[in-house]
Chain A
Amino acid sequence: MREIVVISGKGGTGKTSVTAAFAHLASAQGGAMLCDLDVDAPDLHLLLAPNRQEEHAFHSGREAVIDPEICTCCALCSGMCRFGAITPGPRAFSISPMRCEGCGVCARFCPAGAISLAEKHCGQWYASTTRFGPMIHAQLFPGEENSGRLVALLKKEARERAKAAGLELMLCDGAPGIGCPVISSLSGASLAVVITEPTPSGRHDLERVAALCRHFRIPVAVAVNKFDLNPGNSADIEGYCTEQGYALAGRLPHDEVVVRAMVQGKCVTELPETPFSKALRGVWEVVSDHARRTAARPSPFHNTPNA
């Protein structure tokens, strides 16, 4: 099984538009299990229009609740809470759900036994079908944590279903940043495709997210989107990648076709050919070849952080 995860460090560099086009191109080559691992702000469904076949609740972590009838306002809990989640009220102390990390310290030490830990329903996840194959995706509820756990769950489900369906490829749209959902999405990946742009932020964030991949020994291929905004920076980024041993997957021009396709709910490669889609087909060739090679080696990393 080959697992390709599309990430970027910086948001808005074109991860989702690229992943959707990869899904289209892969559908003509044996197909793929599709996966949206940006569970916080998922957008892949806007292009792939999934039909939901299954819906499941995602429960994870706990949240402390104070019973105001029992609270004696002794203030022990607010003194012990490391997250500043507990504040005094007129008759009883109360816990801010947004600040509570569900650690259970308050519940454990409350001398009156006024605090309980409730299980949290953090989001929903779905198994769907799309015009390019099966898709696993989710929506974390606003403000929730444990996105890393949800990502790990989606990957596990996707792997099992891909295996059952005889699919050799998994294509994942990742989250921005370098924190828990990204780390979780890299677990077991054959190749991380980093989409960057020729700006100081694009470069800076590429360096950090690629270093993260290296930390977990995941091979990296880099594509520079909107390369013509600053050809000098694009060349510098490519030089940097070569120096660091990251594969170059190609350059994509700044093209309004990306937004036009998005407005129509389509992949760029489904619209009439443009310089952008032509370049993107080239990127896919490089990426799919590279993933075939990297998948052949044993994966050293199967971490599943639960942060």
Chain B
Amino acid sequence: MIYAIASGKGGTGKTTVTASLAAVWDRPLTAVDLDVEEPNLHLFLHPSITAEKPASLEIPVLDAERCTLCGECAAFCQYKALSIMGKTLLVFPEMCHGCGGCLALCPEGALSPGGRELGHILEGTAGAARFLMGRLRVGEAMSPPLMRQVKKQIPRNAGADVLIDSPPGVSCPAVNAVMDADVIVLVTEPTPFGLHDFRLAVEAFSPLGKPLGAVINRAGIGDGRVQDYCREARVPVWAEIPFSRAVAEAYSRGEVAASAVPEVRGVFLALMARMQGAAAASKSASSNNGEVRHA
């Protein structure tokens, strides 16, 4: 089963929750950091990295000798990555999304596949868990292509669960992180910002039709409107993590809350049980309906 830990607002505690779940998880596990712009999970799980490899996006490379300036590629490219200026075809590698269209349609064979470095993919182990992360190159604008490549590395063997630490927000990177998950956990906090972005996330992710539950972090600060909204929108609250300076200070030292603060360990064990229960219920419901799931 794949569990995505997501949030609308940043800084609500996705990484705290993911690291703590990894610490208490009672089944074989792969922990994946898909927040490739600002990956943080490794700072808490301290994995030993066994492999690091560069990831690149296929982009066109021009052979000016062969180019007849017919302009087909420039007219086709939706991202303005190719453009004819006077008597030259210009390629803007940073604009390219890697669709491969220009390579397929150039009638002269003047464009061949090259690469733009997206960042790195790192693999290793963290305790008993496998660990996987992507790290976007500083200056690279697009995170989804790297995220797709990291996701391809996720082992699909039955029996092993996957926890995904997702990027914040509800736009393309966040959707990319949750769309292949079986269960979505939304971490929020009981503040007006937390509520506003949580609502956006519920609206964005509900149409995916996956079991979705809330974790209310720093419960006790702010107001009670997140809880009210969960009741109205019928989003189950799978855990409330009480606000505690001890948790915040443990986090500031790079410690995992479930291990460093004994009082909250039980909260994460209960959360794990709820997540696993939701996954099992949805699996049996879909097999009863005879639905075919697409990966």
Contacts and interface: CB of A to CB of B under 8 A. Distances in A.
A303 B113 CA distance: 25
A256 B190 CA distance: 13
Given A80-B104, A305-B95, A179 B11 contact: no
Contacts of B252: 197-200, 229-230, 233
A11 B168 contact: yes
B61 to A, nearest CB: 17
Nearest to B198: A41
Given A177-B38, A201-B43, A212-B139, A82 B99 contact: yes
Binding site of A, secondary structure by majority: helix, strand, loop or mixed? loop
A10 B40 contact: yes
A143 B222 contact: no
Interface string A195-235: 00111110011001101100110000000001001100100
Interface residues on A, range: 35 or more
A96 B140 CA distance: 25
Interface stretch (B62-70, B76-84, B230-238, B281-289): B76-84
Nearest to B223: A263
A257 to B, nearest CB: 12
A253 interface: no
B266 interface: no
B101 interface: yes
B99 A306 contact: no
B124 interface: no
A105 interface: yes
Contact of B37 (A16, A178, A263, A306): A178
Interface stretch (A128-136, A144-152, A156-164, A284-292): A144-152
The 7 residue pairs across chains A and B that have the minimum distance between CB atoms? A11-B10, A12-B11, A142-B204, A103-B99, A177-B37, A230-B252, A307-B141
22 contacts: A10-B11, A11-B168, A12-B9, A41-B200, A43-B196, A82-B58, A82-B98, A104-B78, A105-B99, A142-B170, A142-B175, A143-B172, A145-B172, A177-B38, A179-B37, A179-B141, A183-B139, A204-B40, A205-B38, A254-B248, A259-B191, A307-B141
